[in-house]
Amino acid sequence: MDALIDRTEERRQLRRLTEKSGHHLAILYGRRRIGKTYLLSHMWDEIPVFYYLASDTTPEFNRRDFIRELAEFCDDQAMVGPEELPSWRFVFRELFRCHEDRPMIVVIDEFQYLLGGDDDIRSQLVAVWDRLQRNNSLLVVLSGSAVTTMRELDGPQAALYGRVQWKRHLRPFDYWYTAEMVPFTDFRQQATAYGVFGGTPEYLSTIDGELHFRKNVITQCLSPRGQVRNLVETMIDQERGLRKIGLYRAILTSIARGRTTLSEISDVVGIPKGTGLRRKVQNLESLGFIVGRRNFEAPQNAPFRYHLADPALRFNRAVVQSLRNELETTPADAIWDEHIIPRLQSHMGHVFEEIVAQAYLRLQNARALPPVSEWSSWEGLDRSRQSVEIDIVARLTDKTMLTGAIKWNRHPVNASLYQDHLRDLHRLADSGQGWARQTLENGAPLLFVAAGGFDDSFHRVISTADTEVWTWTLDDIYSSDAAGGPNVTTA
């Protein structure tokens, strides 16, 4: 892609720093292939940029390579000599003297690879930084994919504490920006592309606009040689600092298979439900691989249920891994209708619920929707031990409630969707769920979202409702009203 998609705030804020005099330090971090390098290499044309990409080798090797590239950038080969390897302090002094007569930008990418060794780059940077005097603007951006390491660079006990003026965790695209990056114009295909490829720019860049949507999925995500399949299946392996990768992989697989509480995960992976397992789950959550959820207004001691946060990872575990043997021996085209489509439809039902949550925030201003303080759902048993699921349970900022249902349908839904939802609210109210009783008593608004639309019976029944009812289809979710909203993902 030649043009940057989204990242508007990041670009605006970084550019603002370059317009200020003095020296400024920034940190940008996020998972691999999320677009950090692309963003930083397409930001500036008019200002000299020293860009260094560290490699996964020793800090000393990177320092020697850094000096060589710096000498070329500054046109001063005297920096590179036969003498002993200079310290990082010397390197930074030389770097910050370069282009002193005009603004300059320094980008150190994959910064985590420079950490360690005998010459701590962080303390050496601070030693030069605190004594630096420069009239022209200098912006130094430290970027990296080791999320935990980068996030803690300016922590209270860290050398850079109090010196970082800008910090951002770059996240995947939401459904809207995913649609901007794919070549499909059909809204259902755009939504499914988000469900299959997720919002990771590099995965989306593999889609070939000359091929049918199905062929793209087969080639990139289902084939044992598929690029996206390989990237997704090795996603956790590429996280530095995680020990016992096999155990992390087992945790992700158990969650994908529906074992979502700590107790259930413990049973599957075969380790006690103690501090060790809890810490590993928390690591996965902080890295954006999983997200913990509770039912709306669940008590504080209720166990979290964990879900895979990245749609591409979920598709891989829910569809690809469940058909691993078949995909090794049978062309995906031959099993597409019978085996892949049913699993894909089930997978998309959950993804569509996330798309709706993102769409509400995007549509909020344009459609004057009431602000939400908490967006959730509810799943469990009523007092008769019958299962109940409510797709949307949201507390609005004025303390009223919003509830509703979401369907990933192809054919228009009928009035039973509305009637079943009200019946379920009554069942939960009778079972002691206060939020359900509040919803019914106060005539709270209702939101129904159906990808395939609503039939006449549905519209007739809501026309007599004594509360406000909103109905959305894919046309609403992908309407121009959503264009100005924020990029919102949980991954």
Q: What is the pLDDT of residue 1?
A: 40
Region 21-33 average pLDDT = 91
Specify the CATH number for the domain of residue 243: 1.10.10.10
Region 338-342 average pLDDT = 95
Task: Indicate the residue among 149, 169, 189 that finishes a domain.
Answer: 169
Q: What is the pLDDT of residue 134?
A: 77
Region 153-162 average pLDDT = 92
Does 117 score more than 80 pLDDT? no
Query: Do 297 and 364 fall into the same domain?
Result: no
Q: What is the pLDDT of residue 3?
A: 62
Domain membership of residue 326 (yes or no) is no
Q: What is the mean pLDDT of the chain?
A: 91
Number of independent structural domains in the chain: 3
Q: What is the pLDDT of residue 438?
A: 93
Query: Do 277 and 410 fall into the same domain?
Result: no
Does 474 score more than 60 pLDDT? yes
Query: Do 20 and 160 fall into the same domain?
Result: yes
Domain membership of residue 366 (yes or no) is yes
Region 409-425 average pLDDT = 96
83-92: long-range contacts, CB 8 A cutoff, minimum separation 24: 85/60, 87/119, 87/124, 88/63, 88/119, 88/120, 88/121, 88/124, 88/125, 89/124, 89/127, 89/128, 91/63, 91/66, 91/67, 92/124, 92/125, 92/128, 92/129
Query: Do 19 and 132 fall into the same domain?
Result: yes
Does 476 score more than 80 pLDDT? yes
Does 2 score more than 60 pLDDT? no
Does 334 score more than 90 pLDDT? yes
Task: Indicate the residue among 111, 139, 169 that finishes a domain.
Answer: 169
Q: Are 435 and 415 in contact (CB under 8 A)?
A: no
Domain membership of residue 351 (yes or no) is no
Query: Do 124 and 264 fall into the same domain?
Result: no
Query: Do 83 and 140 fall into the same domain?
Result: yes
Region 432-440 average pLDDT = 94
Confidence label for 239 from pLDDT (cuts 50, 70 and 90): confident
Specify the CATH number for the domain of residue 445: 3.40.1350.10
Q: What is the pLDDT of residue 86?
A: 83
Range of the domain at 115: 8-169
Query: Do 442 and 380 fall into the same domain?
Result: yes
Confidence label for 226 from pLDDT (cuts 50, 70 and 90): very high
Q: Are 393 and 404 in contact (CB under 8 A)?
A: no
Domain membership of residue 427 (yes or no) is yes
Region 312-333 average pLDDT = 92
Domain membership of residue 32 (yes or no) is yes
Region 230-259 average pLDDT = 86
Does 79 score more than 80 pLDDT? no
Query: Do 362 and 304 fall into the same domain?
Result: no
Region 11-38 average pLDDT = 89
Domain membership of residue 121 (yes or no) is yes
Region 151-165 average pLDDT = 92
Query: Do 14 and 133 fall into the same domain?
Result: yes
Q: What is the pLDDT of residue 242?
A: 77
Query: Do 264 and 141 fall into the same domain?
Result: no
Query: Do 17 and 145 fall into the same domain?
Result: yes
Region 269-297 average pLDDT = 89
Domain membership of residue 331 (yes or no) is no
Task: Indicate the residue among 139, 169, 199 that finishes a domain.
Answer: 169
Does 99 score more than 50 pLDDT? yes
Query: Do 409 and 270 fall into the same domain?
Result: no
Q: What is the share, in percent, of the chain residues with pLDDT greater than 90?
A: 67
Specify the CATH number for the domain of residue 125: 3.40.50.300
Does 490 score more than 70 pLDDT? no
Q: Identify which has the larger pLDDT, 282 or 488.
A: 282
Region 473-490 average pLDDT = 87
Confidence label for 76 from pLDDT (cuts 50, 70 and 90): confident
Q: What is the share, in percent, of the chain residues with pLDDT greater than 70?
A: 97
Domain membership of residue 83 (yes or no) is yes
